[in-house]
Chains A and B, each alone.
Chain A
């Protein structure tokens, strides 16, 4: 035996051990590496701003001049003490309910219709998406003409059938209905397409066997489509919730001032945030509002999730 052979012998198992270790790491670590790009990007563009905003909200912070002295929770107490904040919260929730609920019900209906074998199905599917690709500002201009208080088309038509003009901009509830209409115009088709995709994934034999068992159209819709659609529904409802609570474009372009109406009839939380941060240049208070909005969205999201789960599983039992 030479010395080199002697040396080689203990070396070989070591090399195997190392490559084995590499292999084991590969199995253990690689999946995390593969998903890491998302989390790295999220940490940079999602988590960092979130934490930075929290840091800003604890200071007096001018948008331009930058960081001022530490003020603790003063920004939060100030915001929570403002009537405007609570009005904005009320309006946001109200516009959210007025838009999301009819929007999802309508989207479900449209999706169910489109799920049938229609002639020129691509055409119909594209047309429901059309409002979505129109710029919100353009939608604002069109609806501004429709909902104008004195010379608007809708009040004009109402006048012809003897209904007194509605104060679309002055009355809080009417204004919110008008804004919800703009939101629904834009998002119903988008949600309908997502629901349609979910419906198409439902195995057709379920319907066939149900039909053989004598189930009618309605029965099939409520006992097969809805329960099978549960994951898609949860997705649609959660995204609609987040979008609905962050509503900004529509109420902003609803008048020429973008400040939410003379009596803050349609001031939403994001608009309030924008007014404080970009009009009054108070970044600290704006950040406090951003965090309060974040908390509100999480709360509503959780409530929503609980309700959606229950509804979906109840209907599941009907089967």
Chain B
């Protein structure tokens, strides 16, 4: 459900499994029945990562509804660890959970192997999710992924630093101040920088670039999957404009790094782009800061960053039961429960009118009405960019390019030249 790349435990697991992978080769999948069995005791493994908000109580309540089914939860530390695990075991032909969580950013890669997953479409879950969410989980008519959460972006800000710089501190006033395009956001940043508060305007060029990247229909790849990142003028313009702003506006601390986490606690920047799942990271890294708030605004409209799916691999033994459970777990009521537990914003459209969501506030963010804000932010964007199989790899290359300039290793031009070269080598 998020792009967090803290610690690379997954990689270590991968090394250990290289041998296993080579030795096991392929094994045939054991097909399951088509009817839901209500008598035989069955254990279903639910494999997720980070925090999906599926509490023990929530999973136990399914056991109450279906006394013969027990849910065992397996949680990987990071999205990366889950990715490595999924591909390794998919290649081995066994070992995956009955239900596997997949991050929206590497979903395109998984979609290449749609034959290895079950079709989850049913009359029950038809039209339950935002259109873009359903499209992201569907491969030529086969719906292999049911949506869990989405990441409509807002802006988080530190009211103490805003006050120091003589800017408004009230969320509504801040939303008014920041409403506009990216150039306007950078410009306010320059005003802020001129006041010498000791803090930067935003955290890093890399994080800000994510905000821009999610506002184009085709950014890195055209809809037929061919890579256009090196020729698309929008990419180059975004790269150059973010880095131009970075000179005065950025704290130059690379997102997710140790310094970034420390910087969060020390107030090294005043604003950051904020999908709902980011609120958890902010609270975790700066637990003692009391001045965080969320403004119902986003530069140049809206955007979606992150969000996940649940899939049922065909190699499982209880396919019918796993499908029924996935359907239940991604239903509005359960997604609202997950939102309450971990703040993962539901992708189920019917929840956006529910008072349980609209009335929810976040105590850490000075009781900001996060439910209302993110429902608004979800309405602010109408599409998400096309993400093909190379999206993640290209994003890594571009992020590296941004970091090289922010750490003064290269000039903007030299870095862009290297980005172009490395993207071409991905093919």
Contacts and interface: CB of A to CB of B under 8 A. Distances in A.
Given A45-B23, A52-B22, A151-B262, A84 B425 contact: yes
Interface residues of A, number: 46
B404 A262 contact: yes
A263 B404 contact: yes
Interface stretch (B47-55, B80-88, B350-358): B80-88
Interface stretch (B139-147, B214-222, B253-261, B323-331): B253-261
Contact of B6 (A249, A256, A274, A278): A256
B259 A151 contact: yes
Chain B interface helix/strand/loop/mixed: helix
A144 B262 CA distance: 12
Contacts of B15: 248-249, 270, 274
B227 to A, nearest CB: 13
Contacts of A45: 19, 23
B87 A256 contact: no
Nearest to A282: B426
A249 B12 contact: yes
Contacts of B257: 148, 169, 255-256
A261 B109 CA distance: 23
B396 A257 contact: yes
B116 interface: yes
B112 A278 contact: no
A38 B404 CA distance: 49
Contact of B11 (A151, A170, A252): A252
A261 B409 CA distance: 12
Interface in B84-137: 84, 87-88, 90-91, 109, 112-113, 116
A49 interface: yes
Contact of A144 (B258, B400, B422): B258
Interface in A271-286: 274, 278-281, 283
Nearest to B110: A64
B376 interface: no
Nearest to A271: B11
Contact of A64 (B19, B23, B90): B90
A53 B408 CA distance: 40
Contacts of B253: 150
A30 interface: no
Contacts of B22: 48-49, 52-53
B8 A63 contact: no
Contacts of A270: 15
Interface stretch (A11-19, A98-106, A135-143, A214-222): A135-143
B266 interface: yes
B239 to A, nearest CB: 14
Contacts of A145: 258
A278 B88 contact: yes
Given A45-B23, A151-B262, A274 B11 contact: yes
Interface in B227-257: 253-254, 256-257
B113 A253 contact: no
Given A148-B258, A263-B410, A280 B8 contact: no
A259 B404 CA distance: 14
B272 to A, nearest CB: 17
Contacts of A301: none
A167 B403 CA distance: 13
A151 B14 contact: no
A44 interface: yes
B398 to A, nearest CB: 11
Given A49-B23, A278-B88, A280-B393, A148 B8 contact: no
Contacts of A258: 5, 8, 11, 80
B407 interface: yes
Contact of B393 (A169, A256, A279): A279
B34 to A, nearest CB: 25
Given A49-B23, A249-B12, A148 B259 contact: yes
A137 B7 contact: yes
Interface string A65-99: 11000000000000000111000000000000000
B144 to A, nearest CB: 14
A148 B262 contact: yes
Nearest to B389: A281
A44 B90 CA distance: 22
B173 interface: no
B263 interface: yes
A115 interface: no
Chain B CB within 10 Å, residue with most, of A52, A255, A256, A258: A256
Contacts of A263: 400, 404, 409-410
A64 B91 contact: yes
Interface in A25-55: 44-45, 48-49, 52-53
B9 A137 contact: yes
Contacts of B259: 148-152
B7 A253 contact: yes
Contacts of B23: 44-45, 48-49
B406 to A, nearest CB: 9
B36 interface: no
Given A63-B91, A148-B262, A255-B257, A274 B400 contact: no
A256 B91 contact: no
B395 to A, nearest CB: 11
27 contacts: A49-B19, A49-B23, A52-B22, A53-B22, A64-B113, A65-B112, A136-B12, A137-B7, A137-B8, A137-B12, A148-B257, A149-B407, A150-B263, A151-B262, A169-B257, A169-B407, A170-B409, A248-B11, A248-B15, A257-B8, A257-B256, A258-B11, A258-B80, A262-B401, A262-B404, A262-B409, A263-B404
Q: Which 5 A-B pairs have the closest CB atoms?
A: A258-B8, A262-B403, A151-B262, A262-B400, A170-B407
Interface of A: 44-45, 48-49, 52-53, 63-66, 82-84, 136-137, 140-141, 144-145, 148-152, 167, 169-170, 248-249, 252-253, 255-259, 261-263, 270, 274, 278-281, 283
Given A64-B116, A82-B425, 17 more contacts: A83-B425, A140-B7, A144-B258, A151-B258, A151-B259, A151-B263, A151-B266, A169-B407, A256-B7, A256-B256, A258-B8, A258-B80, A259-B396, A259-B400, A278-B84, A279-B396, A280-B393
